[in-house]
Amino acid sequence: MMAGDDMGLVQEYAARRTEAAFAALVERHTNMVYSAALRLVRNPATAEEVTQAVFLLLARKARTLGRQTVVAGWLYRAACHVARDAMRQEWRRQRREQEAYMRATLEEDEAAEAWEQLAPLVDEAMLGLKDSDRDALVLRFFEGREMRAVGEALGASEEAAKKRVGRAVEKLRKALARRQVTVSGGVLMGALAAHSVKAAPEGLGAALQALATAEGAAASHSTTTLLKGAMKFMAWTKAKVAMGGAIVAASLVAPLLVQHEAHAALSAARESQRELGAELAGQEAERARLSRLASQAELSEEQKRDLGRLKKEEAALKKEAENVAALKEENQRLRQEVAPAPATPMQAKELALAKMNFGRQWLIGFLGYADKNQGRFPESFDEAMKFVPDDSWKETGVTTDQFQIVYQGALNAITNPASTIVLREIEGTPAPGGLDSNPGWVKAYGFADGHLEVHREGEDNFDQYESAHIIAPPEAPGTGEPR
């Protein structure tokens, strides 16, 4: 076995539980894993726990890794996913306690300030790259390997490795540009090489080896929780790939657009009917008042004219209400005519997964925006875009045009985050046979505590559910403006 063969060390450990093989892996990659975690969680203690969970994951998954796996790239991706899970857990804890996010300010030189701008976004942008591009960048900059060593790890020549790294840097630069961070390729490579890896705390390597030897028996509760989350994530990812996840979901979205126009007309008709109903009720109340006066005393000429006018207006409103009701029935008929074939239960579940992934990514973006804006939620998707972890949601066919932000106030003004909707799907989706055996309509919702729900109604009317879960931002005292 060559000294530089990471996969050989993994196989040696998997086959014989050789502690020396695992110790070599820990020594080689601890700094890279710890640094990736620290950039995301911004907390040394939490970064240590993430690092422990990642190497425990490697110990448990050693037998299942393929011979062509680039171990450094695998560890990096695992570190990012586990760190993101750790961040979500921390955000939930802070929301339950209604505490403001803590923001640290560091005095650094100009170069460090430039890296500080890149650091919160570089890992999320990296996760959006293909595995081959990400592996090349991890080996070259995060592990600091020479191009020849990068080529050997990737199974390519030194010259091919240079080209692959160059292309990967350009893709990363463009991904950062989409997050409103503009930087040249040269500056980006220099920043990655100079700042991407920091030394892990002394003693962390020895602790990792001890944990792996004991199969995690001595791990802390929080480390064990992170490990379980990572195991679930990997199982979910494998299942999603097997089902063709994003491709199937995208194929479901297109047919639904066929009925969009009829559905929009029906929504407008329903809103018009509600307005007419309210106006008609007011007219009937006024007519009843004048009728009572007429029964008690002689009306003046002006009151008689008002009573006659109200009776005519009431009749006209009733006629208009009948027309709206007829329009509603006609739109329902048209919608049935243009509706696509019912989705199978599996297709419905795939579409629900696509919407849940969309909502999850954007809720994380909303919370990241709030962290930088005095705890307030964004007013538009554009404002939150650079805080969204990655753009994998784009591959599902679900778009921001299909969703609406319904709360733009302060997070700490919400008394019940678990029951308060901040993001909703604009239009319901027909689910004949739907997500189980019952027909109906479904809409996706994101809540202030970070969880997602797909709510079902028997008919395409979610007004009652939404009125119980959507709140208006409180007004600042004396201003009339939301806080």
Q: Encode 91-112: b = buried (16+ Cβ within 10 Å), e = exposed.
A: bbebbeeeeebeeeeeeeeeee
**pLDDT for 463-483, tens place per residue?**
889 989 998 776 554 444 555
Residue whose structure tokens are 């490990």: 227
In contact, 129 and 137? CB cutoff 8 Å = yes
% of the chain with per-residue pLDDT over 70? 64
**pLDDT for 348-375, tens place per residue?**
667 777 788 888 888 888 888 888 888 8
- For residue 158, the 8-state DSSP code is H
Alpha carbon 216 to its chain's center: 30
Task: Specify burial of residue 278 (Cβ count, 10 A radius: 0-12, 13-18, 19+).
Answer: exposed
244 backbone φψ class: left, alpha, beta (φ>0; ψ -120 to 50): left
- Give the separation between CA 99 and CA 21, rounded to whole angstroms: 45
pLDDT at 118: 73
CB atoms within 10 A of CB 253: 17
∠ CA 359-362-367 to the nearest 5 degrees? Answer: 120
Q: Which helix (H) or strand (E) holds 457?
A: strand 452-457
Q: What is the model's pTM?
A: 0.36
Alpha carbon 132 to its chain's center: 24
DSSP three-state, residue 251: helix
List all residues 6 or more positions away from 451 whose beta carbon is below 8 Å from its beta carbon. 418
Torsion sign, CA atoms 250, 251, 257, 263: negative
Low-confidence ranges of the chain (pLDDT < 70): 1-4, 95-117, 196, 211-224, 227-284, 286-287, 289-300, 303, 321, 324-325, 327-328, 330-349, 393, 395-396, 431-439, 474-483
**pLDDT for 119-131, tens place per residue?**
778 888 888 899 9
Task: Specify burial of residue 407 (Cβ count, 10 A radius: 0-12, 13-18, 19+).
Answer: buried
pLDDT at 435: 39
* DSSP secondary structure of 411-444: GGG-S-GGG-EEEEESS-EE-SS-SSSS--EEEE
**Helical residues (DSSP H) of 141-181, grouped into ranges:** 147-154, 158-177
- Give the separation between CA 69 and CA 90, rounded to whole angstroms: 31
pLDDT at 238: 53
- Give the separation between CA 127 and CA 134, rounded to whole angstroms: 7
pLDDT at 482: 52
The amino acid present at 323, given as its one-letter code, is N
DSSP three-state, residue 452: strand
Short-list 5, 3, 1, CA closest to 152: 5
pLDDT at 253: 40
The pair of structure tokens assigned to 39 is: 């950039």
pLDDT at 29: 95
- Give the separation between CA 159 and CA 168, rounded to whole angstroms: 14
